[in-house]
Structure 1
Amino acid sequence: MPSLQQPLLIVTDLDGSLLDHHTYRWDAAADWLAELQRHQVPVVLCSSKTAAEIAPLQKRLGLAGLPFIAENGALVQMSATRQVRIPPQSPDYDSLYQQLKALQATYRFKGFHDFSDPEVAAMTGLTESDSALARQRQASEVIVWRDDEEKLDAFRAALQQHQLQLTQGGRFWHVMPAGSGKGEALRWLLTQYDSAPATLGLGDGPNDAPMLDAVDYAVVIKGYSKTPVSLSRQDTQRIYATAHYGPEGWKEGLDYFLTQPD
């Protein structure tokens, strides 16, 4: 089992995991966040949110200055002045958007680029100011699929021709560069450490599976997605599925792996 006394890195999804799916609050996780800070255990946020969304939230969580993974693993923010797209040299947002715009002639979908801040707020429950931050994308696009479900496979194939891939999040679909993802971003991030710490990951959605497969210990938080979190790893003794949703499940997962017996 991992220990607070050893080099340890916590990697966590936000929406539906550390943050409540409906209210975006993290009250139930607050005591553990304080305990991790006291033991100088870094908490790396790993989210579909943009860097513009994560940076102020990171400060409110008491995690300012730590690296974080944004846009479902298409971007790693190492510091205030250093960002890395995953994979490196992948296309920027403007190029990705132009490729998607061409595909809208064949498939019915809209991206966050096509919506206004009030429209995104209505879909997500975010405030309009937070919705503006969610639309400040740098490496991927969030889309609302409005075509037939059976056309998704053809859409995936069309994306592949442009070196893009489709990932399902908790609420929306995400179009990202091929070879990106939460798992790939985490693996790249760990190469930046002189000696790799033990890793414990927490997530609730299908898009979290690559990250949960890449960590040493995985907490699958009970989620609302119709698609279950399916892991490829077989070391079941290092996987814990929670009975609770959101930050209550987050707390439950850390209690399971990190609470030491008396």
Structure 2
Amino acid sequence: MVLSLDSLMIVTDLDGSLLDHHDYNWDAASEWLTRLKQHQVPLVICSSKTAAEIIPLQKRLGITGAPFIAENGARVVLSGAHTAPTEPSDAYRALCQTLKALQSHFRFNGFHEFSDAEVARFTGLTLAEASQSRLREASEVVLWRDDEHRLAAFRSALAKHNLALTQGGRFWHVMPAGSGKGMALEQIQQHVAQQEGKARITLGLGDGPNDIPMLERADYAVVIKGFSKTPVNLQRSDTQNVYHTAHVGPHGWREGLDYFLAPTE
């Protein structure tokens, strides 16, 4: 199956997808990134990363000003007018206070409890990147230290505060109920269609359970082989529009684009 580049929009997860899970490079995807830019195919980042992390990355990828989805869909930026935050938002601080109250019932830690150096140590990020990952606006990253069977009770406790829990590639994320990568993608699809006067065909790529809403919303989906213990099972009947890669990270990303768009020369 070969899709046309003319009316396409790529929506991609970062860690473990476009970016290598361990060293965060995207060398294997670089040929496709160049080709997409040549054909003016929009590349929409859809990640658990913060806006403070995504904006500099967009610059390095040459897509400054493109819409993007941050914090698993809790933050949606439709235009390039957004500047990277320099401190955590009030909404985030309030969320952390709610979580602090729940720590008397459940064992977990949030990113706000750690220093930049500590976050860098357990994520593999540089010190600067770790600092950017802690400039959160709408969600919190949680390291679950309790028994797995208590997650259901944690979800219920969060729901009472209008919060939800989603699983990323290696961490849990607490975010406002009703937000997520699928809902965020819908907002961006509507925004782009309004701007261009037509809807674009979407090709989504992701490797973790938190990518499922985005991969189910996209017209075509690439499930990149990942490291999560939880499998990425899509509830789609159009299985011919879904491809599961044999490779991980940017090698899997390239494999998925090769499958749907034909390999680069």
> TM (normalized to structure 1)?
0.94
CA deviations 1:94-143 (Å, max 9, x no partner) are 22111111111111111000111111011100111110000000000001
Q: Which residue number in structure 2 is paired with residue 92 of structure 1?
A: 91
Aligned: 1:37 with 2:40: no
CA deviations 1:151-205 (Å, max 9, x no partner) are 1111000000111000000010000110011011001111112222000000001
Q: Which residue number in structure 2 is paired with residue 142 of structure 1?
A: 141
Q: Which residue number in structure 1 is paired with residue 53 of structure 2?
A: 53
2:149 is matched by which residue type in structure 1?
E
CA separation in 2, counterparts of 1:221 and 1:161? 34
Q: 1:79 Cα shift?
A: 2.5
Name whichever of 110-119 and 94-103 sits farther off: 94-103
Q: Which residue number in structure 1 is paired with residue 14 of structure 2?
A: 14
State the secondary structure of the residue aligned to 1:92: helix
Q: 1:57 Cα shift?
A: 0.7
CA separation in 2, counterparts of 1:218 and 1:184? 16
State the secondary structure of the residue aligned to 2:78: strand
1:63 is matched by which residue type in structure 2?
I
Q: 1:2 Cα shift?
A: 5.7
Q: 1:233 Cα shift?
A: 1.0
Contact conserved, 2:5 with 2:261, CA < 8 A, in 1? no
Contact conserved, 1:4 with 1:41, CA < 8 A, in 2? no
Listed as ranges, the gaps of 5+ residues in structure 1 are 84-90
Q: CA RMSD in A?
A: 1.7
Q: Which residue number in structure 1 is paired with residue 87 of structure 2?
A: none
CA separation in 1, counterparts of 2:183 and 2:38? 29
Q: Which residue number in structure 2 is paired with residue 235 of structure 1?
A: 238
1:223 is matched by which residue type in structure 2?
G
Contact conserved, 2:168 with 2:208, CA < 8 A, in 1? yes
CA separation in 2, counterparts of 1:209 and 1:154? 22
Within 5 Å, which residues of 2 pair with 1:67-82?
67-82=67-82
Listed as ranges, the gaps of 5+ residues in structure 2 are 84-89
Contact conserved, 2:66 with 2:80, CA < 8 A, in 1? no
CA separation in 2, counterparts of 1:70 and 1:45? 8
Q: Which residue number in structure 1 is paired with residue 63 of structure 2?
A: 63
Contact conserved, 2:181 with 2:214, CA < 8 A, in 1? yes
State the secondary structure of the residue aligned to 2:235: coil
Contact conserved, 1:244 with 1:252, CA < 8 A, in 2? yes
Contact conserved, 2:31 with 2:264, CA < 8 A, in 1? no
CA separation in 2, counterparts of 1:222 and 1:15? 12
Aligned: 1:113 with 2:116: no
Q: Indicate the percent of aligned positions where both proteins have the same amino acid.
A: 64
Contact conserved, 1:118 with 1:128, CA < 8 A, in 2? yes
1:61 is matched by which residue type in structure 2?
L
Q: 1:6 Cα shift?
A: 2.8
Q: 1:234 Cα shift?
A: 1.4
Within 5 Å, which residues of 2 pair with 1:157-168?
157-168=156-167
Q: 1:41 Cα shift?
A: 0.2
Deviation above 4 Å: which 4+ runs of structure 1? Answer: none
State the secondary structure of the residue aligned to 1:165: strand
CA separation in 2, counterparts of 1:117 and 1:223? 26
Q: Which residue number in structure 2 is paired with residue 252 of structure 1?
A: 255
State the secondary structure of the residue aligned to 2:223: strand
CA separation in 2, counterparts of 1:111 and 1:24? 22
Q: Which residue number in structure 1 is paired with residue 131 of structure 2?
A: 132
Contact conserved, 2:64 with 2:80, CA < 8 A, in 1? no
Contact conserved, 1:4 with 1:39, CA < 8 A, in 2? no
Contact conserved, 1:220 with 1:239, CA < 8 A, in 2? yes
Q: 1:80 Cα shift?
A: 3.7
CA separation in 2, counterparts of 1:178 and 1:56? 28
CA deviations 1:207-241 (Å, max 9, x no partner) are 11110000000000011111110111111000000
Contact conserved, 2:47 with 2:71, CA < 8 A, in 1? yes
> TM (normalized to structure 2)?
0.93
2:216 is matched by which residue type in structure 1?
D
State the secondary structure of the residue aligned to 1:218: strand
Name whichever of 63-72 and 92-101 sits farther off: 92-101
